[in-house]
Chain A
Amino acid sequence: MIIFAIGFALLLNWVKNKTTYGSDTIISVFSSIAIALGLAILAQTGSFNQYSSYLVGDILSITDSEILYVFLIAIVVLVFWYFTFNKLHLISINSTLAKSKGVKTKKIDNIFAVLIAIVVMISIRWIGILLINSLLILPAASSRNIAKNMRLYHLYAVLFSLFSGITGLILSYYFNIPTGPMIVILSGGIYFMTLAVKGKVLNKFSKGELKNGE
């Protein structure tokens, strides 16, 4: 399964480099194909029900050895993040510029895609296919709404995901709601709150009540 994920991620990157379409388009194409493929294969066995945990996930099914895997991959990701963040940052701003600064753009892009694929692969059983995307995007998007620089961006994103993860787990236990959805609902709530904060800050900016940098 992991090999399939890595292959799929590299294929996606390869197609992205070979064509001029935006990565959004290509990601949509690939994800629809993957979902259709998955449904087609599952339909062969006759019943979806036994796989429904893959759709919404079941965090309570986690075993001790799996926690170890998560821990290991977390360390790998942190190390990768520490050593390549500046490069990834440049690639995202302008890949030709990154190249001129000696960044091996293709290699780093591929490693990044593979790592994401592995993280998704490992956590999909607990979070679920439908929700994993929101967990990847929502904390960062919320943080982006209010952060002014890269340090705050990282700090807020980590705080938001920790908060929604832990609070979601607790709430789901007491209110008997599936954990994955609960976490995403909280992340979504945070997103709209940050959006509101951003709106207020912007208004103040335009009224001149706040000076730059405050």
Chain B
Amino acid sequence: MEKACGLHCTKINNIGVKIGNDEILKNVNIHIHCGELTVIIGRNGAGKSTLLKAILGEIEHTGNITFVDQKDNITKKIKIGYVPQSINVEKHMPTTVYDFFASCITHIPVFLKKDKKIYNEIKEHLAIFGADSLIDKSIGDLSGGELQRVLIAIATKPTPNLLILDEPVSGIDRNGIKDFYNIISKLKSEYDMSIILVSHDLDLASKYADKVILLDKEVIKEGKPEDVFKSLEFRNRFGELA
């Protein structure tokens, strides 16, 4: 596993999104380096999820995303891993964690025979996140925290250059959220990737983030957590942090 070197740089250039006549985002510029955890905060409707979708190319947007390896200064195609806030499942869905995971990494349809080699590969990767015992469970029956581990495991195979996480808001208790942040810290220190996290928990965000970006249609304020949390712009939007 390659450790972060700080020399891989993801640049998000001038992202703008318009849906109908509503301008949801404009002039969003973000630079991040590998080994860094950037946390995006903002009120509801500030465009956080829209920004993630724009970065992933799911919605039309202006601007672009480039990924530069500063060791040899070559622009490369970026690999993005994404951890959604929630997934569309119901209880007792006939999709096991194996089915879900295998669908992401192989073209052999999962309705055919289980592939032993892929099965072991998945199990091994799940084990990094302490989720290997879940492999035969239905994804509809996982608890919020278990699902989160599985989703992170899926997003990090193969290892992406940029990992984007949408912090879960429901179904996870306080300890679960802490686990979630611990996993992210581990990823940050052990893998060569940049991480963007959209957060709803300002407390934990301030504790773990290397950089905080306050978003409200555009980047209002960015910098070290303590600087952003002390700023006037922050207080105007969130009031004093308790």
Interfacial residues, chain A to chain B (CB-CB below 8 A): 81-83, 85-87, 89-90, 92-97, 99-101, 105, 143-144, 147-154, 198, 212-213
Q: Is B155 an interface residue (CB 8 A)?
A: yes
Q: When the two chains form the complex, which single residue of A83, A93, A96, A151 contacts B112, counting CB atoms closer than 8 Å?
A: A151
Q: Is B181 an interface residue (CB 8 A)?
A: no
Q: List 19 A-B contacts (CB under 8 A).
A: A85-B110, A86-B104, A86-B106, A86-B107, A86-B109, A87-B103, A89-B95, A89-B103, A93-B88, A97-B154, A99-B58, A148-B94, A149-B99, A149-B138, A150-B94, A150-B95, A150-B110, A151-B113, A153-B111
Contact residue range for chain B? 35 or more
Q: Chain A residues with Cβ under 8 A from B106's Cβ?
A: 86
Q: Chain A residues with Cβ under 8 A from B82's Cβ?
A: 96-97, 99-100
Q: Is B80 an interface residue (CB 8 A)?
A: yes
Interface membership of chain B positions 53-84, coded 1 if the CB is closer than 8 angstroms to chain A and 0 otherwise = 10011100000000000000000000011101
Q: How far is the CB of A107 from chain B (nearest CB, A)?
A: 13
Interface membership of chain B positions 154-192, coded 1 if the CB is closer than 8 angstroms to chain A and 0 otherwise = 110000000010000000000000000000000000000
Distance of A212 Cα from B98 Cα, bound (Å): 16
Q: Which residue of B lies closest to A212 (CB)?
A: B137
Chain A contact residues: over half helix, strand or loop, or mixed? Answer: helix
B58 touches A143 (CB 8 A): no
Counting residue pairs across A and B whose Cβ atoms lie within 8 Å, the total is 92
Q: How far is the CB of A134 from chain B (nearest CB, A)?
A: 20
Leading 8 A-B pairs by shortest Cβ distance: A100-B82, A153-B94, A147-B94, A86-B103, A154-B111, A85-B109, A150-B99, A94-B87
Question: 8 Å CB contacts to A: which residues of B94-120?
Answer: 94-96, 98-100, 102-104, 106-114
Q: Which residue of A lies closest to B136 (CB)?
A: A213
Distance of A213 Cα from B141 Cα, bound (Å): 13
Q: Chain B residues with Cβ under 8 A from A85's Cβ?
A: 103, 109-111
Q: Which residue of A lies closest to B137 (CB)?
A: A212
Q: How far is the CB of B237 from chain A (nearest CB, A)?
A: 25
Q: Chain B residues with Cβ under 8 A from A149's Cβ?
A: 94-96, 98-99, 136, 138
Q: Chain B residues with Cβ under 8 A from A100's Cβ?
A: 56, 80-82, 155, 164
Distance of A96 Cα from B155 Cα, bound (Å): 12
Distance of A150 Cα from B93 Cα, bound (Å): 9
Q: When the two chains form the complex, which single residue of A89, A97, A99, A198 contacts B99, counting CB atoms closer than 8 Å?
A: A89
Q: When the two chains form the complex, which single residue of A81, A96, A144, A213 contacts B94, counting CB atoms closer than 8 Å?
A: A144
Q: When the two chains form the complex, which single residue of A86, A87, A96 contacts B56, counting CB atoms closer than 8 Å?
A: A96
B109 touches A90 (CB 8 A): no
Q: Chain B residues with Cβ under 8 A from A94's Cβ?
A: 84, 87-88
B94 touches A152 (CB 8 A): yes
Distance of A108 Cα from B99 Cα, bound (Å): 19
Q: When the two chains form the complex, which single residue of A96, A143, A150, A212 contacts B84, counting CB atoms closer than 8 Å?
A: A96
Distance of A93 Cα from B81 Cα, bound (Å): 16
Q: Chain B residues with Cβ under 8 A from A144's Cβ?
A: 92-94
Knowing A86-B102, A100-B82, A151-B114 are in contact, say whether A93-B95 is a contact too (CB < 8 A).
yes
